[in-house]
Amino acid sequence: MLMLEVRKKVIETARKMLKYGLTTGTFGNISIRHQEILVAITPSGVDYESMIPEDVVIVDLNGQVIDGDLKPSSEMPMHLALYRKRADIQAVVHTHSPYASAFAVLGQEIPVVLAEMASVVGGSVKVAPYCRPGSAEMGREVVRCLRDRTGVLLANHGVVAIGSTVDEALGVAQVIEDSARIYQLAVAMGNPRILPEDEIRVLREQYIKHYGQK
């Protein structure tokens, strides 16, 4: 089977997304780039727990189905827009996590209140304006608003996280959700302290250069 291990990784990540409370039902989607020109993406409306490798769809960067009998995710245009624009992006995770989605509904960016958010995301999480899900316009707005960050909010919709691996992208989505939750708790208790821009830059640079087994 074409890209069997990549397909398995897509399913594994989708199940983790569900397990971690980052989405419900069949919502959200996962994709992984392979050999620069192919993308494995979750199919539209298929239960993650029952999903098998054959269900994961292989497409090229123009959206042409290369392998698979099911329809790819309706959000495929957004995933492909990111891959076409950014060669460094190797995986995209789109979640509907509740605390971050609350910010998206308000049209309010998530400020940097945690050191790990500065390190992993690179700054506050901006909000892309509302676009109809699955539209080419949404892909363009996500690319525009993401800039140097690893995550962005979709107004009235959810979260998009990117990474050099799908594990990294999922980790970004988790950090964004944790940051949104902790900020809302802190607001209920008092006045949260936002990290200054110069400290955010230092933390991000340190993370890129030194985090992990490098």
Question: Which of 45, 42, 44 has its CA nearest to residue 16?
Answer: 42
β-pairing verdict for 57-60 and 38-41: antiparallel
Q: Is 109 a catalytic residue?
A: no
Q: What's the CA gap between 28 and 17, in Å, rounded?
A: 8
CA distances from 176 to 22, 44, 50, 77, 85 (A): 10, 25, 27, 23, 23
Strand order across the beta sheet in which 127-128 lies? 65-67, 57-60, 38-41, 29-34, 91-95, 158-163, 151-154, 127-128
Given the residues 36, 75, 109, 177, select the one marked as catalytic.
75
β-pairing verdict for 65-67 and 57-60: antiparallel
Question: Which of 205, 213, 12, 196 has its CA nearest to residue 120?
Answer: 205
Residue 172 identity: V
Residues marked active site are found at 75
